[in-house]
Amino acid sequence: MTATEYSNLILSFLDNTKDFDSFKAAFEEAFDEEEEDMDENLFFILDGVWGSLQSYWPDIAAEGERAHRITGETLRKELAHSLHQLSEYASKHPGVAAGTG
């Protein structure tokens, strides 16, 4: 996938087109299928998205957040930040598929 395609996937969750489970499954499938020679900067961004997805606990209260347990609000903030990073990456590397660096 290109950075823009990953951005569109994240947007589908942020705008409530996809629910969390559908988004997580689609992201993980795409990320798992990437080739090993992914650009390091893109990998860092996508790995951050993956980490945020693993850290999301739907039933946790804000005061219960820890480094690896985040609320839906925090998840959305982190994904919005990743979306910004992907946008910057895509502007510098238009049309480059993730696995082709």
pLDDT at position 48 over 70:
yes
When pLDDT is cut at 50, 70 and 90, the band that residue 101 belongs to is very low
Q: How many percent of the chain have pLDDT more than 70?
A: 90
Instruction: Return mean pLDDT, the chain.
Output: 89
Q: What are the domain boundaries of the chain? A: 3-100
pLDDT tens sequence across 65-76: 676 889 999 999
- For 61-92, b/e burial (b = at least 16 CB within 10 A) is eeeeeeeeebbeebbeebbeebbebbeebbee
Asked if residue 42 has pLDDT above 90, the reply is yes
Domain 3-100 maps to which CATH number in 1.10.10, 3.40.630, 1.20.120, 1.10.3470?
Answer: 1.20.120
- Rounded Cα gap, residues 55 and 62, in angstroms: 13
Cα gap 2→39, rounded to integer Å: 11
Q: For position 65, what pLDDT does the model report? A: 67
Q: What is the pLDDT of residue 96?
A: 66
